[in-house]
A and B are shown apart, each in its own frame.
Chain A
């Protein structure tokens, strides 16, 4: 991005591909304000205190915006753990023909 020596931050600004599950964990960690490492595939509204209905909506919106997908009302109600989210997102992205690894920084 930069051609001159404004290190060290600039190195880190370069995009890094993330595994889909980690992108989802990252979004969830920001939305629910919990540490990234505290989120596992089985994390759910039962295990994460701040996973309430408003934050659920916030997470759905962040996923839709960041991954350029849309969830139906029925699907929104099914997204009740990290692994369920990953599975549904994967299905949607493969229908879109989009590469799930992306440039979330």
Chain B
């Protein structure tokens, strides 16, 4: 009777966690109800040891009943690698909660706050009887004023991310179709408020908009609402649509918690084109602007969009490599050519092994990979062997391919930096660097051939986002693994006793952008290295030595005598393990939590490696700070 659940239980008891997780996910996707969510939540703790989840605290300020959606959110999040703790504020009490320093909201200490307020609650007069005219403009102004006060109050007590629901338009405007042509009708007023919310979000860092109106519209306003339950228990959303609400929240929480995918690895046959290349030949595969090739081209367009968000693309396909590359580069219908891919594995090896190699080649963890394939068998095999990898099994109908990837929370980005959009190009240059390495006779010759230039300066305001992203995402060369939000970096950069330094690297293949961060806290004659990290893009090129040399120069100018720092081991930062001992630091103490090191600034003569031109930039902000 409960055969599937028995089988899941057996798999868990036998330690076959990947298999169990995959089956639980299938149950959940097939029936995303509150009941199944509870079952999913009962399974997840049993494999947590092996497949960890990132703890994240979410608090809802809300004007309607959303408790039934909490298990849906936690179950969906659990399967995306989040371990969510959820708090829900009292119904309609959002203003009181943000204004009082000891409210349940602040005692909860949320990482993210979701502000879920409906039009009919915050602007009942606008919702119910929208008489076109100046009255509505006044309502819109008042509503925006409330939101502005709410954010201001929240920000004065908490640095949590804030996710604001936009307001929705009424299904049936008071004036019927006439509302559509009124510049001061109900729809116009709601749009005015939403536009104001966008401006508001832009004025604060860490404030994001969730387009609730678009979400409701996408699924049909009439279908979405359940007026009976609204009147009975203040629950406005129909049972079948609640998991879509939860999924929308996840599209914010997954990237905020740093659980987004960095690389999308795609199959070829029946994924990026229709048909099987080995059987149908390059003339027989379907790809182009007409049916049925257009569906596959829509997926390629989606991948191109993700690439512009900074997500790397890679290929993993069972094919003859030369034949596949020829089709990719010569077929007139293809949108993505081979230069779009940062890594390719086109061979007959099993895909789990190929994915391991791709992760290694691109210097990312397996949990940074998302794998897209049409074959349930390949998907299942990867889920079982590599439970860390996010697997996106394409639906049977190619017309639905693109949407399946577009709505996945792993690929959402809540802000874009210049480096994000150029990342694909940077990796392409990196492949050329790698081939330069194999051509160079010695490692030193290779370093010389790179003609690297390192420039370090205090963080510039426009780069605070990038610096925060680096602290969030850098796992390998990271001495302490401390994570900072953009807002925290912003604040740190303005403290007199703290220096936030950015390091960028150029070489003959291109500009790598900002790839290093040092946060130095100074008191008296001691500088404490709170954070020192370097992107995996430049690992193995002695950039860290050059960064330290510039840090020493900077420390001397600040009049510091000692540099101190800790190495805090994590599961991934082995590449940084020997940094202190390799650079003349002496060990002060060492315990389970890590080791403590120091270096005499005066007596140390460390220099930039001769193959790196290092520049400590002191114009602008850095100059001012040194003068003060």
A26: Cβ under 8 A from any B Cβ:
yes
Is there an interface contact between A66 and B42, defined as CB atoms closer than 8 Å?
no
A 51-74 binary contact with B (CB < 8 Å = 1; else 0): 000100111111011101010110
Cα–Cα distance between A3 and B377 once the two chains are bound (Å)? 8
List of B residues within 8 angstroms of A11 by Cβ: 3, 7
How far apart are the CA atoms of A54 and B19 in the complex, in Å? 33
Give chain A's interface secondary structure class. helix
Complex Cα distance A4/B67, Å? 42
| Complex CA–CA separation, A57 to B239 (angstroms) | 10
Q: Which of B1-60 contact A (CB under 8 A)?
A: 1-4, 6-8, 11, 19, 23, 26-27, 30-31, 33-36, 38-39, 42
Q: Mark A61-105, 1 if CB is under 8 A from B, else 0.
A: 110111010101100100000000000000000000000000011
Given contacts A12-B3, A13-B4, A72-B228, contact A62 B26 (CB under 8 A): no
Chain A interface size band reads 35 or more
A22, A36, A54, A64: the one within 8 Å of B67 (CB): A54
Contact status B6-A12, CB under 8 Å: yes
Interface positions of B from 222 to 259, Cβ below 8 Å from A = 228, 231-233, 235, 238-240, 242
Q: A36: which B residues are within 8 A, CB to CB?
A: 2
Query: Which residues 419-447 in B have Cβ within 8 Å of A in the complex?
Result: none
* Chain A positions 20-40 with a Cβ under 8 Å from a chain B Cβ: 22, 26-28, 30-31, 33, 36
**Which of these, A4, A9, A28, A66, contacts B33 with CB under 8 Å?**
A66
Contacting pair A6 B1 (CB below 8 A): no
**B38, A61: Cβ atoms closer than 8 Å:** no
In the complex, A31→B267 CA distance in Å?
39
Is B68 an interface residue when CB atoms closer than 8 A count as contact? yes
Inter-chain contacts of B42 with A (CB < 8 A): 33
Q: Is B381 an interface residue (CB 8 A)?
A: yes
Interface centre among B27, B35, B42, B231 (most CB of A within 10 A): B35
Alpha-carbon separation in the docked complex, A65 to B318 (Å): 40
- Chain B's closest residue to A32 (CB) is B38
Query: Chain B residue with minimal CB distance to A7?
Result: B7
Contacting pair B35 A66 (CB below 8 A): yes
The CA of A16 and the CA of B42, in the complex, are separated in Å by 22
B232 touches A76 (CB 8 A): yes
- Residues in A with CB closer than 8 Å to B35 are 26-28, 30-31, 58-59, 62, 66
- How many B residues touch A, CB cutoff 8 Å? 38
Which residues from A are CB-within-8-Å of B30? 105
Question: In the complex, what residues of B have CB within 8 A of residue A60's CB?
Answer: 239
B376 within 8 A of A: yes
Is B460 interfacial (CB-CB < 8 Å)?
no
Report yes or no: B67 in contact with A31, Cβ–Cβ below 8 A: no
A4 CA / B122 CA spacing, docked (Å) = 56
In the complex, what residue of chain B is closest to A66 when comparing beta carbons? Answer: B33
A62 and B239 form a contact (CB under 8 A): yes
**Residues of chain B within 8 A of A59, CB atoms compared:** 35
Task: Note all chain B residues with C-beta closer than 8 A to A57.
Answer: 68, 233, 235
**Assuming A9-B11, A27-B33, A28-B35, what are 16 further A-B pairs, CB within 8 angstroms?**
A2-B380, A9-B19, A11-B3, A12-B23, A13-B26, A16-B3, A31-B35, A31-B38, A33-B42, A61-B68, A61-B239, A62-B33, A62-B34, A62-B239, A65-B239, A73-B232
Residues of A within 8 A of B (CB): 1-4, 6, 8-9, 11-13, 16, 18, 22, 26-28, 30-31, 33, 36, 54, 57-62, 64-66, 68, 70, 72-73, 76, 104-105
> Can you list 27 A-B contacts with CB-CB less than 8 angstroms, sorted by A residue number?
A2-B376, A2-B377, A6-B377, A6-B380, A9-B11, A11-B7, A16-B4, A22-B1, A28-B35, A30-B35, A33-B42, A58-B35, A59-B35, A60-B239, A61-B68, A61-B242, A62-B33, A62-B36, A62-B239, A65-B240, A68-B240, A73-B231, A73-B232, A104-B31, A105-B4, A105-B27, A105-B30
